[in-house]
């Protein structure tokens, strides 16, 4: 999609875009968002109105450690000059597909497309493709088979897909912080790790990671981003429905 092209306002027959804005600034898209579900919920699929008007989406892979405790994949991000923990996710985009310089289709991303795109974009900066590709392929299969739980966050109009991945896959992706990205002021995502749910739920204590048992764990950032705290609380209160 080219800069300032909104798929809702692109007329394929006339080959013109009626407006100079991106999808998230589109007045038509704003109308879709007016009737979205305001309450958080857990389910196997999105409410129909939310699938039309959602603003952002993400994927939270989860697994278990050797003690059987739930661990979630999260990111280390630079926020306000501090490194904080967040989940993988980002804003919805539109697609204008061209062939031979001619527009063939103009449409918005689905929630699954947005979630998977954000996961691939973020994690490909941090993990060797040989390790990441099997995980991506597994996630695609689970999305296509509807093998996930949906978590809707009404306050941010965001949907997360919680997908269990095999323990051996998470063990082959140990967490890391990219020291080179720490020196680059424009880098927001600088690392990832597997975080124990019980520790994420209590941000007054150090956050333990699922794959690390040595003293290096204590030197890693352990502050959860304010945006993410109520999401973790919601996950904790619904863990019996989510992690099955």
Higher pLDDT, 216 or 151: 151
* pLDDT confidence bin for 202, thresholds 50/70/90: confident
Answer for the pair 42, 60: CB distance below 8 angstroms, yes or no: no
* 98 bridge partner residues: 103
* pLDDT confidence bin for 104, thresholds 50/70/90: very low
Q: Name the 3-class secondary structure at 102.
A: strand
Which tokens hold the place of 139?
């996630």
**Does 19 reside within a domain?**
no
How much is the pLDDT for 204? Answer: 45
How much is the pLDDT for 103? Answer: 42
**Does 13 reside within a domain?**
no
**Does 4 reside within a domain?**
no
pLDDT (tens digit per residue) in 6-30: 666 755 444 554 456 766 677 776 7
CATH (domain of 137):
3.90.79.10
Angle between helix 129-144 and 111-124 (nearest 10): 170
**Does 18 reside within a domain?**
no
**Does 103 reside within a domain?**
yes
How much is the pLDDT for 113? Answer: 95
Which tokens hold the place of 44?
């196997």
Asked if pLDDT for residue 122 goes beyond 70, the answer is: yes
Nearest-5° Cα angle at 105, 104 to 110: 155
* pLDDT confidence bin for 197, thresholds 50/70/90: very high
**Does 95 reside within a domain?**
yes
Asked if pLDDT for residue 83 goes beyond 90, the answer is: no
Measured distance CA(196)–CA(10) in Å, rounded: 45
C-alpha 131: how far from its chain's center? Answer: 19
Backbone angles phi, psi at 204, to 5 degrees: -80, -10
What residues contact 49, with CB distance under 8 A and at least 6 apart? 35, 36, 37
- How many domains in the chain? 1
Higher pLDDT, 50 or 214: 50
Range of the domain at 198: 36-242
C-alpha 233: how far from its chain's center? Answer: 17
pLDDT (tens digit per residue) in 148-196: 999 999 999 999 999 999 999 999 999 988 877 776 655 588 999 999 9
**Does 26 reside within a domain?**
no
How much is the pLDDT for 7? Answer: 66
Asked if pLDDT for residue 203 goes beyond 90, the answer is: no
* pLDDT confidence bin for 102, thresholds 50/70/90: very low
**Does 28 reside within a domain?**
no
Q: Tell me the C-alpha to C-alpha distance, in Å, between residue 106 and each of 6, 30, 83, 122, 189.
A: 8, 18, 38, 25, 30
DSSP structure string for 121-164: HHHHTTS-HHHHHHHHHHHHHHHHTT-SEEEEEGGGTEEEEEEE
DSSP structure string for 13-70: TTTEESSS--GGG-HHHHHHHTTS--S-EEESS--HHHHHH--EEEEEEEEE-TT--E
- Comparing 25-39, 56-70, 140-154, 216-230, the range with the smallest average pLDDT is 216-230
Asked if pLDDT for residue 126 goes beyond 60, the answer is: yes
Q: Name the 3-class secondary structure at 74.
A: strand
Higher pLDDT, 147 or 84: 147
């Amino acid at each position: 999609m080219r800069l300032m092209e909104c798929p809702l306002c692109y007329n394929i027959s006339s080959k013109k875009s009626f407006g100079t804005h991106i999808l998230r600034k589109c007045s038509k898209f704003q109308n879709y968002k007016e009737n979205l579900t305001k309450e958080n919920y857990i389910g196997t699929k999105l409410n129909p109105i939310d699938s039309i008007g959602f603003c952002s989406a993400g994927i939270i892979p989860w697994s278990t450690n050797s003690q059987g405790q739930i661990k979630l994949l999260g990111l280390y991000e630079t926020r306000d000059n501090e490194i904080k923990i967040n989940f993988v996710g980002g804003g919805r985009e539109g697609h204008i597909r061209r062939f031979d310089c001619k527009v063939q289709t103009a449409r918005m991303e689905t929630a699954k497309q947005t979630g998977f795109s954000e996961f691939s974009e973020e994690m490909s900066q941090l993990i060797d493709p040989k390790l990441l590709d099997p995980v991506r392929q597994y996630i695609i299969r689970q999305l296509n088979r509807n093998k996930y739980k949906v978590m809707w966050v009404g306050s941010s109009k965001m949907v997360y897909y919680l997908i269990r991945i095999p323990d051996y896959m998470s063990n082959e992706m140990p967490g890391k912080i990219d020291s080179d990205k720490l020196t680059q002021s424009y880098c927001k995502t600088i690392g990832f790790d597997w975080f124990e749910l019980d520790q994420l739920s209590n941000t007054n204590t150090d956050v333990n990671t699922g794959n690390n048992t040595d003293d290096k764990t204590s030197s890693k950032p352990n502050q959860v981003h304010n945006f993410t705290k109520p999401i973790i609380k919601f996950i904790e209160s619904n863990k019996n429905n989510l992690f099955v």
